[in-house]
Structures are given as C-alpha cells and as structure tokens.
Amino acid sequence: MNNSEVARVFQDIADLLELKGETLFKIRAYQKAVRSIEQLPVGLEQLRQEGKLRQIPGIGEAIEKKIVELLATGRLKYYEDLRSEFPAGIVSLLQVPGVGPKTAMRLSTELGIGSLEELEAAIVDGRVEGLYRLGEKTAENILHHLRSMRTKEQRLPIGTALPLAEEIMIALQERSQIRHLTPAGSLRRFRETIGDIDLMGTADDAETVIEAFTKLAQVREVLAKGSTKASVVTHRDLQVDLRVVEHDAFGSLLQYFTGSKQHNITLRERGQRQGLKLSEYGITTLQNGRLETYATEEGFYNRLGLQLIPPELREGQHEIERAAEHSMPQLVELSDLKGDLHVHTDWSDGHDSIEAMAMAASNLGYQYLAVTDHSRSLGIAHGLNEERLRAQMSEIRRLNERLNNIQILSGIEVDIRADGSLDFPDELLGELDVVIAAIHSSLSQRQDRMTQRVLRAIENPNVDIIAHPTCRLLGQREPIALDLEIIFRAAAQTGMALEINCMPDRLDLRDIHIFRARDLGVRLALGTDAHSTEHLKYMRFGVGIARRGWCEAKHLLNSMPAEELLASLGQQENKRI
C-alpha cells in the first residue's frame, strides 16, 4: 500500500467515527494522521523499515500499529469492523460538501443510496427533496456540489505543487551534477493549478543525472527512463518529468516546454512569416535549412525580433505584440514590496503574537506590517470587539515605540454584513491606519444583492481595501456571485484598493480579474492573510499571480514606503468625503 492509500483508509475511519458520533478528539487524531501522511516526502514502508513511523507528527502507538498492519497485509481489521456497522457506500456520500453525517445516514437508510451516481439520480427525480425536513434548497445545493466535484480538474494548486517541485529540485541538485535546473510548463508560468511537474536542466553526463533522479527518496514509481529523460510518480501521487539537454540548446528547449500551447502557436506563426521554422531544438532558416540553437531564451526571442517575454505572460494573449513593440511591462518582483497589508495575530484566530509577526516581517525585509485581525461578528475566529480592538491599538503603539526596524500599522479586517453595513462604527474605523473589509458569511446571496453589498463597503470612506473580493476557495468553493465589472469601476472611481489575497487556496482576485482591474485603474494590494509567521512567505504566490495579471510595482499599494502609503490612504478618504 502506498501513502495515499493508507491516508485514504484513515480518512474513511475519521468519517465513519463521525457517523458513529464518536468524540471529536478521536476523529481529529485520524484527520491529523491523514494530513501528516499526505505531506510525507518518503514512503511509509521505508519509514517502517527504519523504525521511524512514530517520528511522523500525529502518529502515536495505536495508529502506528494500524499502519504496520496495512503495510503488511493490505487490510485493517479495525477498519473492516467499523465499515460493517454501516450501509455500504455511505462514506462516499460524506465527501460531498453539504452532506453531514446525519444527512448521509438518512440518504442511506431512508432512500437506500450507496453511491454518488445514485445520489445524483435521486436528487434529479425529486426523492431527496421529499425527505422530511430536508427540502428543495438543500437538495439543489447538494446537486451543485456534486457536479462541481465531478468537473473539478485533477490538478494541484500551485501552493502545493511549487514546494514539492522545489523539494525535488534541491534533492536532485544535492545528488547529481545537474545545472540550470528549472521548472517548465504551467508551474513556470505560475498558473494557479498545475497538472504534472516538468523539470529541465543541463549536464555533461545526462545519464548519471537521470539515474540519480529515479533513485530519489521522493520517488514511488519510475514510469519511463531513457538516457536524457525520465518520468516518475512521487509518494504524493504527482508525476514529475525530467529532461536533461545540451547546454547550447537549453534556451529553445526551455522555451518550447514552458509553453503555453497558444503562445507557442502564435510564435510559430510569427516565425513562418519571417521564413523561420521554430522547434524545441532551435530556429531553422527555411531558405537554407540552417538550424541555429540557443543557450538562452532571450536569444531565441531576440531572433524573432522580440523582447524576452516573462514566463507568467506566455498565454497567447497580448504579450507577443507587446514584445514586438519592445514595450513589455516591468513586472512586480517580491523585492519591490515594502510590507504586508493583511495579517492575523493571536488576538483573533492567528497563531503568533503581534511582536512575533512584526519580527518575522522585519526579517523578510519589510518596512511595515498591517495587523488586521477579525472583527466581532466573526465569533468562531475570536473576532475583536471594540474594547479589545482599542486594547490592541495601545499594544501596537507600545510596540512601535520599542521596535526600530519595522512599523506596525493598526488595522482591522472588518466584516461586511449581509446588508453591506460594517461591523464597526465609522468613528472607530477612522482611528485605524488600515481598514480592510471582507465578506465571510451569507455567501449565497443573489448577484444584484451581493454586488450592492460590496458597493456599500466600497463607498465607505473609512475602508481602504476589500479583501479576498470573490471569496472563492480553489477547488473547494465557487466564487460569490458578484458583478466584478461594476465593482472594478466603482473601485477605480473611489480609489478603493482591491486585494490580491496570497493564501495559496484563495489567490483572490485571480489573474484575469487582476488584469482587468489594473486596466481600469483600480489600485491593488497584496495581503498574505497570514495566520502565523510561516504564512508571511505566501507573498510569493500573490506576486506570481499579480505578475500573471500584468502588475507592475506601481499598481500595488505595498510598493509604497510607509509614509507615502498612509498619506495615500488618507487622501483617498478625503477624496470620497
């Protein structure tokens, strides 16, 4: 059994225990084990042989025994006994968002449903809404989730794929003489989700590099292996392809395998008009059949009369025209950013203290950090009431007197209530340096109502930034129904900034929206939404997505020094009053 199969069994056990009404403590123990196993860079079998299973976080004696049994026999008696207590197929129903243990039980016992296909059929023919106290709306909701589950592409979010690729790249660099090791494909273009990971590099002796690659501890299975390329599957079920090429041709190969398809097609057509044929090996002049190879991508693009195009823009949109006019934008870089404008601390649902967050931000080279904990309506996140917010403001003043390297800005992530009013009175908001407003509840409002709700927040002169504007969660939750064109135009008019939330499962606004907002003159702000010091590093994901949206430093509030930022936020208030 591989890691994902073992994790799957523990996930089922957690679900079954929930059905059984077991204590949260017991359920969480299995959920924790699932998460740890999914994150493991090496195989469980290897850890078992080395006697290291107990070193995995969340694996105690009881779960260790179960892993050993699963690895040895491919079965687990405890799991089989537990499963026999419930109707078959019930666990699959729990995978649908909106179906809790009680509903799953009723679907199974009252309607005899044992699979997702049967569930869909029962909703369509009206049997599910006929269940006592369930109703049409719930049935409709379940159907919606069911269908979006099925159409969901089997792709990894970049927040998961990039660290995995980096881990493999570091391991390969330690164990071989590979040079210029670079990801290609959608990972290099920084798409929000990634299929396979493609890696490329150069070496004097390609074969030994390939050999080292297929022997990495992360590798579960070798799918294909040649003298210059190999494909493997990792313990985390991810396909990784490596290609080792001649140094002289590295530029054209990297270009070819970075894509996108549309970009390369448009580029080939351009080449044809110039009497040139493009390929992964280089550029052939059709007249004399001579092939020129390129060590760098810049040489390749220049031969076509183009500026080098940053990978994030290679989507076959407007980038080739711009490169031909030599007016490529100077895209924002991580080093352009002077601060983070959205973080939480242990005053609400964050993990670390204000001071710890400030020190970590200072270590990243920032000049300022906006502390924006949740407001009172968000009870589950320990939202601050007025009294605690004032106490936090004094604490921040005290810290600012003591700390030299960083300026902490007092802020709040104030809830936009269902009717568009804010969770705090205007006078209080007016005292803060940075006010971000966000929606966290009543997410299913109709588009006209939702748009009015956000517009009301945009028109409030005390608000500076609208956080995670569409509230989508990648692969988990669809965006709220919002007329973004209206929102962008209003934001441009009032000077309201919209956030690019850097959390890897949010990335909200997304690339195409950023492009449009920026085009209409909307100010943008990067915020990590960090709930711990570690999360501050998510800034790079926001920067990647901002680059895909053609953002330059000047489009982002975070590129301003603190004084300029505060003055600019103040000005915008005056402008609107």
Q: Are 392 and 424 in contact (CB under 8 A)?
A: no
Nearest distance in Å: CB 436, Zn ion = 8
Query: Smallest distance from the beta carbon of 368 to Zn ion, in angstroms?
Result: 17
Is 370 buried (19+), middle (13-18) or exposed (0-12) by CB count in 10 A? buried
Q: What is the Cα–Cα distance from 372 to 565, expressed in whole angstroms?
A: 16
Q: How far, in Å, CA of 222 to CA of 43, rounded?
A: 14
Shortest CB 49 distance to Zn ion, Å: 43
Residue 109 or 476 with smaller CB distance to Zn ion: 476
Which CB sits closer to Zn ion, 380 or 577? 380
Structure tokens at 112: 């005899």
For the bound state, the minimum distance from the C-beta of residue 423 to Zn ion, rounded and expressed in Å, comes to 12
Name which of 433 and 529 has its Cβ closer to Zn ion.
529
Residue 282, H or E segment: strand 282-285
Q: How far is CA 289 from CA 246, 256, 275, 297, in A?
A: 21, 20, 10, 21
- Cβ at position 445, least distance to Zn ion in Å: 17
**Minimal distance in Å, beta carbon 499 to Zn ion?**
9
| DSSP label of 548 | H
Q: How far is the CB of 547 from Zn ion (least distance, A)?
A: 23
Q: Are 497 and 508 in contact (CB under 8 A)?
A: no
Angstrom distance (rounded) from CA 169 to CA 35: 23
Closer to Zn ion at the Cβ: 66 or 440?
A: 440
Region 523-562 residues binding Zn ion, contact defined as CB under 5 A = 529
Binding mask of the shown chain, residues 491 to 530, with x at each position contacting Zn ion by CB under 5 A: --------------------------------------x-
Nearer CB in complex with Zn ion: 103/345: 345
- Establish if 371 lies at the interface with Zn ion (CB under 5 A): no
If residue 230 lies in a helix (H) or strand (E), which one and from where to where? strand 229-234
In terms of CB distance, is 322 or 351 closer to Zn ion? Answer: 351
Residue of 157, 139, 137 whose CA lies nearest to 147: 139
CA distance 440 to 344: 15
Taking the least distance from each CB to Zn ion, the nearer of 381 and 396 is 381
Closest of 351, 308, 364, 293 to residue 558, by C-alpha = 364
Q: In the chain, how long is the greatest CA-to-CA distance?
A: 80
SS3 87: coil
> For tokens 């690895």, what's the residue?
71
549 secondary structure, DSSP code: T
The residue range among 46-54, 176-184, 195-203, 431-439 that interacts with Zn ion, by the rule CB under 5 A, is 431-439
In the complex with Zn ion, which residue's Cβ is closer, 14 or 502? 502
Binders of Zn ion among residues 390 to 429 (CB under 5 A) are 413
Binding residues for Zn ion, total number by CB under 5 A: 3
Point out which span in 181-189, 199-207, 231-239, 432-440 binds Zn ion (CB under 5 A): 432-440
Helix or strand (DSSP H, E) at 62:
helix 61-73
Interface region with Zn ion, contact rule CB under 5 A, candidates 66-74, 85-93, 329-337, 438-446: 438-446
Nearer to Zn ion, 192 or 373 (CB): 373
Distance in angstroms (rounded) separating the CA atoms of residues 343 and 536: 8
Closest approach, Cβ 466 to Zn ion, in A, equals 11
Whether residue 254 contacts residue 184, with contact meaning beta carbons closer than 8 Å, is answered with yes
Site string for Zn ion, 242-281 (x = CB under 5 A): ----------------------------------------
Q: Is 438 in the site for Zn ion (CB under 5 A)?
A: yes
Q: Shortest Cβ distance from residue 505 to Zn ion (Å)?
A: 12
Closest distance of CB 529 from Zn ion, Å: 4
Give the binding site for Zn ion (CB under 5 A): 413, 438, 529
